[in-house]
Structure 1
Amino acid sequence: MNGKRIIKWMPGLGLLFNYKREYFGYDLKAGLSVAAVALPVAIAYTELLGINAIVGLYACIFPMIIYALFGTSRQLITGPDAATCAVIAAVVIPLSAGDENTRWQLAIIMTAMTGFWCILASHFRLGAFTDFLSRPILQGLLNGVAITIMVGQISKVFGFDTSPDHLIEKLIEVPFRLMDAHLPTVLMSAVTLALLLGIRYFRSRWPAPLIAMVVMTYLSWQFDLASYGIAIVNKEAGNVDLFLPVVSMSGFHPSVLRELLVPSINLAVISFVSFMMTARSFASKNGYDVDADQELKALGIANIAAALSQGFAVSAASSRTAVNDSVGGKTQLVSIIAALVILLVLLFMTDFLAYIPLSSLGIVLIVSSWSLLSIRHIWSYRKRNKQAFTLASFTLLAVLLAGLINGIGFAVLLGLLQFLRIVFRPSDQLLGVDEQGMVHSMNKDNGIEPIDGLMMYRFNSPLTYFNVGYFKKRVLQLVDSAPQRPAWLAVDAAVSFTYDDVSVFAAIDELIRELRIKGVKLVLAGRRTELNRWIERNRISLNEDDLIIAPDLYFVIRLYQSRQQIKEKQKEARKEALKQEAESQEAESNKASISEVPIESQTSTP
């Protein structure tokens, strides 16, 4: 029993216990490939924060092992991500006032808070909020993040001494400072870019970032490029910490937590949305399902592990996940192998890492961020869905003009407003039947016909206290605007009545009375058992002359038609009875008129 609980808590552990030996060859190859891509990218992302480069590698090791045990995706790789690092940098750099130790402290605390929010959300089973940020909003957000990162690396690529803090100012500055570019740095950037593009073009399966960084770091080490003014990870070779670097928390002020509260929630939402998009896409491709709530918990624990290892927030590393899948990784063992390879590099190659040129890291970041850029995809929304195009464009402009953090706030707010608009004012339809008697929504020229005297209505949202007034208004509008007032109004209750809300049933009671005045009977179709219980609980009079609770719309149609037939038969019977009564009265009248004729006139003349 305890074993089952442990496996339920750590699904990845269960898969590793039942590991198939034939998978090991695929997982080993995939693990080495993932580590090859993760090494340079993790160091490059650390540069966004301006802290010890080794921290980026430690941010890979423990979170990757943790996710392998707690996650449900067999392909997903966790690690530093462009979007999460950019968000953290946008928050902590202004708050740190230029102090690297403070910046590192804030990054660790924000990571821990992000993990806490994810675990808390998992406890309340909020994994369903994966789709809180719609795809158009997320597209705009990721494009804004990609552009922000690329523009932020321009100063490293050209060797500028200083650079403005905001994106627009950085773009305006570039043409005026090209003459101040440091030529050796520009040459180093150009060689790195040419190497990356060349490998991708001629040997697309090779780990281009790793090869480029090894080559450029070797050149930096062999020819002492730092003496030519080319910035490297650590100008004093060998000063990069070999073991886990530890930041002092003695000077940390708890009051700063207030500044990190909202940004950490934003980061948790964005991380999990992109996390689940990656996990679901690869799970669908490989024919299995992922548990959203368990993934939320795994992401939270991975971020807590990152914070405890003095690292920063992690999320789904889409590029490394794609490498894992393309090489043929089968299980979560890929993450463990990749983490161990990175650990070996930390133990035996730390001195070499100190010579990595910052301009080469900037080029790797720009090339990596380019994969996030999909302006063409946003533009394609223009013809397919104008609303989606507006949402994506607004989010993109908000990130570019208002800054990353404010832009993310706008994106989250926009997602919330979009959700509330759908719930407050949802779409609705009148329903009819086709030639086979199947119920469908009625549209122009779709061949679906209404049933005379029966109006069927669907409200495409759960009824709550804040939209039941709109529901009531729409129902009365449709009844009043009908060419012929219906005898019955049937509402598809399976869609809109999802829970007991006092305000909803109070409004339904008012609607029943107003429809009664109009001579219309209300019918609720679906959720018959729950509706009867809820109506009794809310003390609504269940008089069949005013309200009928039916199992579904097809039952309503049959009931209405049968009662109409009964009415027709009764009507015919009344007509027949009236006819017979009229004939009887006529016969009696004729008989009476005959009886009034004088006897003499009735007797013949002799």
Structure 2
Amino acid sequence: MPGLNTLCHYEKSWFADDVKAALSVAAVALPVAIAYAQLTGVNAVVGLYSCVLPMLVYALFGTSKQLIVGPDAATCAVIAALITPLAAGDSTKHWQLVITMTAMTGFWCILASRFKLGVLADFLSKPILMGLLNGVAITVIVGQFSKIFGFTFDERYLLERLGGVPTYLAQTHFPTLTIALLTLAIYFGIKRLRPTWPASMFAIALGASLVWLFKLEQFGIKTIGVVEGGLPLFQTPEFNVGIIRELVMPALNLAIISFVSMMLTARSFAAKNGYDVDADKEFMALGIANLASAVSQGFAVSGASSRTAVNDANGGKSQLVSIIAAGIIAIIAIFFTAPLEFIPSAALGVVLIIASIHLLDLKMVWKLRLKDRQAFYLTLTTLLAVLFIGVIPGITLAVLLGLFQFIRTVMRPTDHILGVDINGVVRSLDASDKAKAVDGIFIYRFNSPLTYFNSSFFKRRLLEQYARQKDDIECVIIDAVPCFTHLDLSVMAMLSDLEVIFRKRGVRLELAGRKRQLLAWFEKAEIKSGHEGIYVHSDLYLALRMNQKKQITEENSAKEEPEQTSV
């Protein structure tokens, strides 16, 4: 429990800042949690349950001092997209499926931590995650228009919804739209006059007060309805256990997305505050937090970037912020849920749209077009997939894109021809002419580990680059350090073929680096080394010295022969 260790060495000077930060975090988390509960399709109090135990658990098991966990737009959108068709309108079944998927997500996270898969934090590249989050944000924003304008979408997917916009706008419920606009005005008014105040909480509170004072339900304004507070009570699942099969892979996708998103937030604030986070322990903390959420009848959680930013901006120093904020939310969830029933759905829709706009960064997506065209196309593909084929298929495509991007990098990496500069340093040959090729020696570097699925490409590239050389080549040296990382019999067979090809051309094939490993692998693969096979040297510089010494010896021998003949 890294967090417990921090709390055991707590400094009294931190307390005032932590209390201030906790109050601010709770004020921001309350309306957002209720809004995300609506997005997920469950009762408002479930959103509060999803904050309390997960925040307490992360405070003990997490390695980030600033990160706040809780409901997140991306995770809620994923859950809603999957569970809604499976529940088929049954609210109890819907809730229980949400809890089940949350528990499965937690299980996947803990399993990943057990196998030290924290490296998955780097699995989804930033362009893919950027496209994913922008797509989810747009999907959520369009989905909330129905609450703001007072109609109900009949279609499930974004494209069909956009096609029916003219028809839906004709069904606008103007009292509902008025409440939404009033909430928006209050939000921006508070942001302008009192930037440090929790604008979302005040906007929702004032909207609920208006509904209560003037009994606006009589005008058709929908509210979130009765919120039964108290301690969460476990219910026996009432759905076919076979449905769980439908949740296995989506829960795995959700675990990866939640973890990657959380690590981006955790690492950025850790770097800002001068410490580091442990990816494997973060995976464990996220898994336990999700299990805690499921036990307390909540839904899946992740790192909440907006609440983490509020914590940091208010000077939060330790995990005590999460503990105090969780206590405040718990008190409200248990004892003070009655006023929540007057919160208008339109006001929650406004809060969700504002929260989703913070996820949008289309300007950065467009900038990628100039910085990195390949990253731009990757981001755009993920974004369009989420928008037009749905959140779940879009996330699956994002994960596959990340995998394919890695495989493509390994299968078709860059390579370099090496030379030596005026100081004798080995470096790549390029247009700068800082390095020159060594006479009679061709040095090749392949920038990826060699394995069975890229060995043929390696062989082809090496022979192509060799064929382009104008000078007579006596020796081909391969930099073994970056490419020979593990034993692969397919690679060894390819290397043996290369040795035969070069030997027929009167060229020596040599490897530089990893000498002990390579000789051991040669023995297992029954490949000859030394004069009868492939030469292996300790490093590139030794290989060059040995070959240059050999060239000098041969030149001297050639000079001595004519002298002896003349005598």
Distance 1:133 1:125 in 2: 17
Letter in 1 for 2:303: A
Give the 3-state SS of the residue equivalent to 2:530 in structure 1.
Answer: coil
Structure 1 window deviating more from structure 2 (93-102 vs 544-553): it is 544-553
Verify: 1:141 aligned to 2:125, yes or no. no
Structure 1 window deviating more from structure 2 (563-572 vs 135-144): it is 563-572
Question: Which position in structure 2 is the counterpart of 1:292?
Answer: 279
2:103 counterpart (105, 109, 112): 112
Give the 3-state SS of the residue equivalent to 1:519 in structure 2.
Answer: coil
CA 1:553–1:350 in 2, change beyond 3 Å: closer, same or farther? same
Question: Which position in structure 2 is the counterpart of 1:103?
Answer: 94
Verify: 1:527 aligned to 2:514, yes or no. yes
Q: 1:445 Cα deviation (Å)?
A: 3.4
Q: Show CA shifts across 1:252-286 (max 9, x none).
A: 21110111111111111111111111111111111
Structure 1 window deviating more from structure 2 (445-454 vs 243-252): it is 243-252
Structure 1 window deviating more from structure 2 (532-541 vs 147-156): it is 532-541
Q: Is the 8 A contact 2:443 2:479 kept in 1?
A: yes
Structure 1 window deviating more from structure 2 (373-382 vs 84-93): it is 373-382
Q: 1:581 Cα deviation (Å)?
A: 3.2
Q: Is the 8 A contact 1:521 1:545 kept in 2?
A: no
Give the 3-state SS of the residue equivalent to 1:490 in structure 2.
Answer: strand
Q: Show CA shifts across 1:154-212 (max 9, x none).
A: 11001114542221222222333323211111111001111112222332222111121
Question: Which position in structure 1 is the counterpart of 2:362?
Answer: 375
Question: Which position in structure 1 is the counterpart of 2:198?
Answer: 207
Distance 2:237 2:355 in 1: 36
Structure 1, gaps ≥5 residues long = 1-9, 585-606
Q: Show CA shifts across 1:58-77 (max 9, x none).
A: 00111111111111111111
Alignment of 1:72-471 (within 5 A): 72-234=63-225, 239-246=226-233, 248-471=235-458
Question: Which position in structure 2 is the counterpart of 1:597?
Answer: none
Letter in 2 for 1:240: V
Q: Show CA shifts across 1:280-317 (max 9, x none).
A: 11111111111111111111111111111111110010
Give the 3-state SS of the residue equivalent to 1:133 in structure 2.
Answer: coil
Alignment of 1:572-583 (within 5 A): 572-574=559-561, 578-582=562-566
CA 1:546–1:323 in 2, change beyond 3 Å: closer, same or farther? same
Q: Could you state the TM-score of these two structures normalised by the residue count of structure 2?
A: 0.97
Question: Which position in structure 1 is the counterpart of 2:470?
Answer: 483
Q: 1:99 Cα deviation (Å)?
A: 0.8
When the two chains are superposed, the root-mean-square deviation of aligned CA atoms in Å is 1.5
Distance 1:250 1:132 in 2: 35
Q: Is the 8 A contact 2:153 2:161 kept in 1?
A: no
Aligned length: 567
Structure 1 window deviating more from structure 2 (221-230 vs 14-23): it is 221-230
Q: Show CA shifts across 1:447-493 (max 9, x none).
A: 32211111111111111111111111211222222212422212121
What is the aligned-residue identity percentage?
A: 52
Question: Which position in structure 1 is the counterpart of 2:503?
Answer: 516
Question: Which position in structure 1 is the counterpart of 2:36?
Answer: 45
Verify: 1:566 aligned to 2:566, yes or no. no
Distance 2:527 2:449 in 1: 20
Give the 3-state SS of the residue equivalent to 1:95 in structure 2.
Answer: helix
Give the 3-state SS of the residue equivalent to 2:444 in structure 1.
Answer: strand
Give the 3-state SS of the residue equivalent to 1:433 in structure 2.
Answer: strand
Structure 1 window deviating more from structure 2 (112-121 vs 541-550): it is 541-550
Q: Is the 8 A contact 1:479 1:485 kept in 2?
A: no
Give the 3-state SS of the residue equivalent to 1:243 in structure 2.
Answer: coil
Structure 1 window deviating more from structure 2 (41-50 vs 224-233): it is 224-233
Q: Is the 8 A contact 2:230 2:335 kept in 1?
A: no
Structure 1 window deviating more from structure 2 (250-259 vs 169-178): it is 169-178
Give the 3-state SS of the residue equivalent to 1:180 in structure 2.
Answer: coil
Q: 1:151 Cα deviation (Å)?
A: 0.3
Distance 2:189 2:539 in 1: 64
Give the 3-state SS of the residue equivalent to 1:277 in structure 2.
Answer: helix
CA 1:203–1:449 in 2, change beyond 3 Å: closer, same or farther? farther
CA 1:320–1:446 in 2, change beyond 3 Å: closer, same or farther? farther
Give the 3-state SS of the residue equivalent to 2:43 in structure 1.
Answer: coil
Distance 1:47 1:94 in 2: 16
Distance 1:334 1:487 in 2: 68
CA 1:162–1:474 in 2, change beyond 3 Å: closer, same or farther? closer
Distance 2:2 2:115 in 1: 19
Letter in 2 for 1:150: I
Distance 1:332 1:351 in 2: 30
Q: Is the 8 A contact 2:157 2:389 kept in 1?
A: no
Q: Is the 8 A contact 1:434 1:447 kept in 2?
A: yes
Structure 2, gaps ≥5 residues long = none
Verify: 1:33 aligned to 2:24, yes or no. yes
Structure 1 window deviating more from structure 2 (164-173 vs 350-359): it is 164-173
Give the 3-state SS of the residue equivalent to 2:531 in structure 1.
Answer: coil
Question: Which position in structure 2 is the counterpart of 1:501?
Answer: 488
Give the 3-state SS of the residue equivalent to 2:170 in structure 1.
Answer: helix
Question: Which position in structure 2 is the counterpart of 1:58?
Answer: 49
Give the 3-state SS of the residue equivalent to 1:389 in structure 2.
Answer: helix
Distance 1:299 1:580 in 2: 82
Question: Which position in structure 2 is the counterpart of 1:538?
Answer: 525
Distance 2:433 2:263 in 1: 38
Structure 1 window deviating more from structure 2 (282-291 vs 505-514): it is 505-514
Give the 3-state SS of the residue equivalent to 1:233 in structure 2.
Answer: coil
CA 1:448–1:573 in 2, change beyond 3 Å: closer, same or farther? same
Q: Could you state the TM-score of these two structures normalised by the residue count of structure 1?
A: 0.91
